[in-house]
Chain A
């Protein structure tokens, strides 16, 4: 034990060497550490973007090759030719996002506040679908919604299909190859992206705030409206973005569960790139989609005012 005293660092003497100014290399260290990330972004984000941007203003044909002619008319042509698909993408994605929110919020609330020791199990169940391929899961919905299957039969008996058919969501006595099927697929596939951020922000709410609200004469429903929901807004915003953005560009659900009448802009881009081989139109469509999403997201974030939340 006596050795502890001698191990103490020697006191700073006034003759200690003066601090040398930080060396040049030391100052650059942060930038060197940033380099791998920057390289990654340049290689896999910036370069493809520039390449696509240049493709979108090229003209020519597959036989004679394409060259940059700054032909911006491609954008206008693409937009006017495929406006219905654009609109459909936004409508389907918005419907799926709303459905995800309606299904996901109670689930996230249950996990955050009521699940107790089942919390981890339910979380695993939410994530479990990711263990199988996106494609397989979507194909499974083909079976679930199959013509004459038990689900469609039940909906038919209950006359639900009459209502959805009148609304234009389904056609006749089938669900498959209708807008409803596509929206169901989108909702199913993106639900975890809604539940996880919602859960995270609900779980962070101090349960004593609920008690304080009840103590201050708020009945449980008022507590939800005035305290819980406003405090979960960061989760609502990130959940809706994580659902809406990929759902708008999705083409697998429309491809597998839809028909030619439910084509979304993702399907058009895929066809232009891989079947028609009209690269400029495909690239232009991609940029229009990106710009449209950026615009909508910006307006949405401004409107929801989440930057003001803690």
Chain B
């Protein structure tokens, strides 16, 4: 069974990287299930997932470093499935950079040009080193550079060949947090400047959302969902996506009745409104659904002020079990009959001093921020991986 995913075209029409029914098995283990994927030319595409989800294998099949068990890889109109890596117009930035330790920075960057027999590489290499701000380091050896500089050499070494597609395999994994944030912006800038298609593999959901135009969330060798970062975040179609990208609360509920375009849900005595369009599960009266809501969409009111909460909001009563102050916000965990561990993030604008552990509260949010998922799935899927 193939699942088809096509990202919205970003700049130009006509997919540049096209995977058709591609799969990879090692013995009895299936790393990648048959997959169809189109990455539009010029887009910044992220394959996001926990380790072992098949994202790196997919990337390596595009690079030619891994031969697909079934299916084909095309770049534009050219089928490259059978081409060895050195004949593919594709370059890779490896996880640990894989810079040649016996060559200096200049020769590392010039490597691809020299192999293609291009003469007079000096000007090109110098321009590329300037682009990644390493012009001064040209005659140093890789081990003399810092991690961030090595990372930029790896990008320059790949980009100088003007590949049709640049593949990045967890390129920022070895850097510390601060440098990683800086390099994310740097890579994004370079991508915008050169306009080459980037396919980026990462397990860091924030990195994927910051950099990519389109994110494909992978789980167990399959693409769970594909779309623009904001779309994935706001409209997750599976609990895995909802938990892997950020945090979600799930309330087990039953469809009570329909009212216009809304579903009215019963959740242990609380009544919730869910727009029908945001319910990704069968919505017949009596079916069980998981009603999801992001912790930052929720407001808290002390039980004494419950009357002041507007009537059109979804509400859930409970007691505060934990409260942790994080500076910008306070994270509460509520104990509610409908959802035993219900997270709420409240911005520290005006802090209500009555909101301490043990306090009776009403959590309320706009029905438009509720999403409905099939109750047959594990509500905790994907939550551990990001923890």
Q: A218–B107 Cα gap in the complex (Å)? A: 14
Do B143 and A209 touch across chains, with their CB atoms under 8 A apart? no
Q: A211–B64 Cα gap in the complex (Å)? A: 10
Do A211 and B85 touch across chains, with their CB atoms under 8 A apart? yes
A302 within 8 A of B: no
Task: Annotate A196-217 by CB proximity to B: 1 below 8 A, 0 otherwise.
Answer: 0000000000101101111111
| Chain A hits for B96, CB < 8 A | 206, 208
Q: A214–B111 Cα gap in the complex (Å)? A: 11
- By secondary structure, the A interface counts as helix
B161 within 8 A of A: yes
Do A218 and B86 touch across chains, with their CB atoms under 8 A apart? yes
Do B102 and A218 touch across chains, with their CB atoms under 8 A apart? no
| Chain A hits for B94, CB < 8 A | 208, 211-212
Q: A110–B146 Cα gap in the complex (Å)? A: 34
Given contacts A208-B94, A222-B115, contact A214 B101 (CB under 8 A): no
Give the shortest distance, in Å, between A149 (CB) and chain B (any CB). Answer: 46
Q: A62–B158 Cα gap in the complex (Å)? A: 75
Within 8 A of B (CB), among A177-233: 206, 208-209, 211-219, 222, 226-227, 230-231
Do B111 and A216 touch across chains, with their CB atoms under 8 A apart? yes
Within 8 A of A (CB), among B314-355: none
Do B98 and A208 touch across chains, with their CB atoms under 8 A apart? yes
Selected contact of B63 from candidates A215, A222, A226, A231, CB within 8 Å? A215
| Chain B hits for A209, CB < 8 A | 98, 100
B288 within 8 A of A: no
Q: A208–B92 Cα gap in the complex (Å)? A: 11
B157 within 8 A of A: yes
Within 8 A of A (CB), among B95-136: 96, 98-102, 111-112, 115-116
Do B92 and A212 touch across chains, with their CB atoms under 8 A apart? yes
Q: A226–B101 Cα gap in the complex (Å)? A: 12
Do B111 and A213 touch across chains, with their CB atoms under 8 A apart? yes
Selected contact of A215 from candidates B65, B99, B101, B141, CB within 8 Å? B65
| Chain B hits for A230, CB < 8 A | 102
Do A212 and B86 touch across chains, with their CB atoms under 8 A apart? no
Q: A209–B92 Cα gap in the complex (Å)? A: 12
| Chain A hits for B115, CB < 8 A | 216-218, 222, 226
Q: A217–B118 Cα gap in the complex (Å)? A: 12
B91 within 8 A of A: yes
Do A216 and B143 touch across chains, with their CB atoms under 8 A apart? no
Given contacts A209-B98, A212-B94, A214-B86, contact A310 B161 (CB under 8 A): no
Give the shortest distance, in Å, between A48 (CB) and chain B (any CB). Answer: 41
Do A215 and B86 touch across chains, with their CB atoms under 8 A apart? yes
Give the shortest distance, in Å, between B99 (CB) and chain A (any CB). Answer: 8
B286 within 8 A of A: no
| Chain A hits for B91, CB < 8 A | 215-216
Nearest 4 CB-CB pairs, A to B? A216-B112, A212-B98, A217-B115, A208-B98
* 13 A-B residue pairings within 8 Å (CB atoms): A208-B96, A208-B98, A212-B100, A215-B63, A215-B91, A216-B111, A217-B115, A218-B115, A219-B86, A227-B102, A231-B102, A309-B102, A310-B141
13 additional A-B pairs beyond A215-B90, A215-B91, beta carbons within 8 Å, are A208-B94, A208-B96, A212-B94, A214-B64, A214-B84, A215-B65, A215-B92, A216-B91, A216-B111, A217-B161, A230-B102, A231-B102, A310-B143
